[in-house]
Each structure stands twice: as structure tokens, then as C-alpha cells.
Amino acid sequence: MLQVSNIRAHKEAYIKALKKRNFEGESILNQILQLDEDRRSTQTKLDETLAEANQLSKEIGLLFKTGEHQKATILKERSAQLKDASKELSDGLSEIVSNLEKLLYTIPNVPNEIVPAGTSEEDNEEIYNEGDIPVLAEGSLPHWELAKKYDIIDFELGNKVTGAGFPIYKGKGARLQRALITYFLDKAAESGYNEYQLPLMVNEASGFGTGQLPDKEGQMYHVTEDDLYLIPTAEVPLTNMFRGDMLQENDLPIACTGYTPCFRREAGSYGAHVRGLNRLHQFDKVELVRIEKPENSYAALDGMVDHIKNLLQELKLPYRILKLCGGDLGFTSALTYDFEVFSTAQDRWLEISSVSNFETFQTNRLKLRYKDRDGNKQLLHTLNGSALALPRVLAGILENYQTPEGIIIPEVLIKYTGFDRID
């Protein structure tokens, strides 16, 4: 959530920057500034009314003590008027604050100046690629056919038990999935991330804290009776662990990781681009979250990018990195890099990670601050990245490592799987 003080100080720059997202912000920013003016003037009137009421209360007490009941009675009438006025002002202030907050929740984050302009994923900027795309033998199969051939993932059985988008992993498929999770967590620990085992449901305040609500309310599974939401990513509980905290400078940086299933009610569509593991309603992911001082956050973002590069290098999967354009940037992000793995059998790139810096957008919602050495309270920066999302990594391994004799397991995973081939 943007800070009103920053909107006031940088309104024209914000209007220009938000246009990168194809978001016309001038009207709504003007409404916000007017509401803030109303809030401040109403707060001033309320403070003055309460101060007068307090002073009258003292005077009335003294008059009663000195036996001047008639004067006291006259002042009590004024005191009652002030009480009514203060209630009216307080109710009006609450309504103004509520309307102001609702408007602030509708504005996306301001893109970093290096975010390219653009309207869709077609305008994203490739900044890096690495790895040789393998040449597969004739008759090579996409992962959903390989899953059926080797009986390692059962999409039909998952559909029977739950519905489309909830596959069941079997045998060596389940063990490969578990191996990837453990490998990703071990690599995160080596890089200094503290591991957490997290709840899979969060309350509404947590959804608002990291920006999933109200922006992505329709994509989240809602347990209505308990008013809880199934998590779309471990970012939500990881970051919300620090909601409302006042950290000290020596607490920073904070680096967290966690493995969770993730749940997303994405709109249904059809075709090869969403077949098999390409798009699921439940999937596994290892997440990285960092909380940083503002001056260190972009160096930390580069470090997260390098961490994910290392994972893909060790898995020997061909990949590229995209800098997302304004039109494809997530609602809460100031800058995002997407990682994509090339699926040789599908002849296309599959997104397997997003790494983002949210700057103060989440911490302003979370009221997550720290005291610097001079005792000043400042908002922190939050960052997160998938390291990695498993379905498309698994799809990339199955497709790119297939041979006529079976699917070879990447060398770095063999100590976790206990086998070197699926056949």
C-alpha cells in the first residue's frame, strides 16, 4: 500500500510511473489526497472538541465543589453538546479513514524506474539465458504422456478424488517430488535462510498484509465458516509472521524459507499450454522471503536471483531470466524477474520462479518497521521468490532428461531419490 505522505510529495512522478502499468492514477490519487485533507481537518476539530470537553469537565467539578450549582448546570449543557459533537466527528473520522484505506488498497505498487514499459508478457525483456537446449530422440513425449507411460503421476485419479488440477504423484514420481523439495530446502539453508513449517490457512488480516486481498480474492480458496483462506504461496504466512513488529537494526536482515503446498482457484482454460503440470490448483513450492533495510534491498534481490540461477545450473536445465514490463508486473511488486525453463518436448518456455522486491508496499500494510541507530522508525523492504515452484521444474526434468531407455535423474538429485533413472 502506498504511503499518503509519499503520494503528496511525489504525486506527478507516481502518476507517470503508474502509467507503465497502464494504470491511470491521477483521479484516484487526487481523491486520496482530498480524503487525507478531510481526515486531518476532522481530526483537528475532534481534538479541539475533546480538549474543550476535558477543560469543561474540570471546571464543572470545581463549581460543584464550591457550591455554584447553577453555573455548573449551564456548563453541563455545553458539555453534553460537546459530547454529541465529538461522537459525530469521531464517526465521520472513522468513515473517512475507512474510505481512504479502501482507495489505497486499489492502487498497485509504483514500478521501479528500470521496469520497462509494456502492456503484456510479450513486452517482457529477456536479460539472461543459459544452458543448451537438448536435442531429443524422435518420438519424444510431453510430460503428461511420460507420466502415464511410467506410471509416476496420475491426473485422472486426482480428478476422481478431487477434480482437475489436483494430480496424484506415485512411486518414483512421488519420490522425485520429495527429492526436489528437500534439495531446494537444503540449498536455502546453505544460503542462510531459516526454515519454517507453516500453516496452510491464514486469516483475512494476513491476506491484506501481503496484498493478496482484495486484489486476488477470487483466486483464493475461502473457508467461509471460519473466514480463513488457503495459502496461494508460503510468502503469505512467512511475511505475516512479522506483521506489526518493530524490529531493531541488529535483527536485520531476516531470511526465511518454507515448503508448502499452494492453492489457487485460477480460471479454467484449455489446450496444451495448461495441460498436465503446466497449471494446477494445488502445487508444491519452496519459497524465499527476505526483510531488508531499504538501502540493502536491491543487492538482496540480486542475491536471490543468483541463488535461483545456481539451482538451475546444478539441475542442468536450460533457462532464461525476464525483467517484467509494467503491464505484466504483479500488483504488489516494484520490480520482478521471472525465470523460465525451456521445455523441449513442448517447444516453449515455462515459468518456474518469480523474484520480486515489494519495497515498502507490503510493510506499510503490515506496519512492519525498524528503529535505526538514531532511534528513527522506518518502514522496511520485503522481497520474495520461488526457489522453486515444483510442477514445471518437474515437467522440465521429465521432458528434457527423457531418453529411449527412460528418464535420467539429474546428478544433483540422485542422493535424494536413491535412484538414477525412471524406467
Is the Cβ–Cβ distance between 1 and 361 less than 8 Å? yes
Residue 233 marked as a ligand binder: yes
Residues in contact with 35: Cβ distance below 8 Å, sequence separation at least 6, in sequence order:
96, 99, 100, 103
Within 13 Å of residue 308, how many CA atoms lie on the same side as its CB? Answer: 32
User: Is 333 annotated as contributing to ligand binding?
Assistant: no
264 is in an annotated binding site: yes
Buried b (16+ CB within 10 A) or exposed e, 209-229: bbbbbebbeeebebeeeeebb
Q: Are 325 and 284 in contact (CB under 8 A)?
A: no
Question: 287 among the known binding-site residues?
Answer: yes
Q: Is 369 annotated as a binding residue?
A: no
Determine if residue 392 is labeled as part of a ligand binding site. no
48 is in an annotated binding site: no
Flag whether 399 is marked binding. Answer: no
Residues 320 and 264 sit within 8 Å (Cβ to Cβ): no
C-alpha to C-alpha distances, 252 to 255, 334, 371, nearest whole angstrom: 9, 21, 11
* Residues flagged as binding site: 233, 264-266, 287, 351-354, 384
- Per the annotation, where are the binding residues for ATP? 264-266, 351-354
What are the binding residues for L-serine?
233, 264, 287, 384
